[in-house]
Amino acid sequence: MQKYFEVGQIVNTFGINGTVKVKPFTDEIERFEELKNVLIDKNNKLIKCEIENVKYQKQMVLLKFKGLDNINQVEQYKGCYLKIERKYAKKLPEGTYFIADLIGLNVFTEDGKLLGYLEDIYNAGSSDIYVVKTELGKQVLLPSIKEVIKQVDLENEKIIVHLLKGLVED
């Protein structure tokens, strides 16, 4: 399981006082107000920054970090990802999972045959779509519904699926 979760990416600076503009990776951008700190991932080195202020501009989050008080100090972080430790992540309801924990899991059919690994997850409105990459490099798209996704086993790093007729080419 992932130790850290990406919560956004610094896309630009904002003004001259050290504020950064962040593209959030959450549906609930207000969650940034609950965070005291974030980790800036700069070249795989995590830099802990205390959040001083949170504001919003359209679908972006404006963050001001304590001790970073001018544009020159934050310019270097453009393009960097913001992470939080798992313990600060929102608690999920039973039977739901963080996408970061699912990506890379092996996907098996109910009869134990390896279908491939979970490459990505897309939001398609009413349900998510799991993108499974097969050993032959093909993509299989599976709806994230209980009739298809039978079991998620994070401990054994696998997902068991029921293939409805027409989901996979024969």
Q: Is residue 26 over pLDDT 90?
A: no
In a domain, 168, yes or no: no
Query: Can you give the residue range of the structural domain that contains 51?
Result: 4-86
Same-domain status, 60 and 107: no
Q: What is the CATH number of the domain that holds 14?
A: 2.40.30.60
Average pLDDT, the chain: 93
Q: Are residues 14 and 72 in the same domain?
A: yes
| Phi–psi pair at 47, nearest 5 degrees | -110, 115
6-19: per-residue pLDDT in tens?
999 999 999 999 99
Phi, psi dihedrals of residue 62, rounded to the nearest 5°: -105, 120
* 169 pLDDT higher than 80: no
Residue 80's pLDDT is what?
Answer: 98
Q: Does residue 142 register a pLDDT over 90?
A: yes
Do 62 and 114 reside in the same domain of the chain? no
Q: List, for residues 72-119, the tens digit of each pLDDT value.
A: 999 999 999 999 999 988 888 888 888 889 999 999 999 999 999 999
For residues 9 and 64, membership in a common domain is answered with: yes
- In Å, what is the CA distance from 87 to each residue of 4, 32, 39, 60, 75? 9, 15, 13, 24, 29
Q: Is residue 93 part of a domain?
A: no
pLDDT for 170 equals 59
Q: What is the pLDDT of residue 51?
A: 98
CATH at 120? 2.30.30.240
CA distance 35 to 33: 6
Look at residues 45, 64, 86 and tell me which one is the last residue of a structural domain: 86
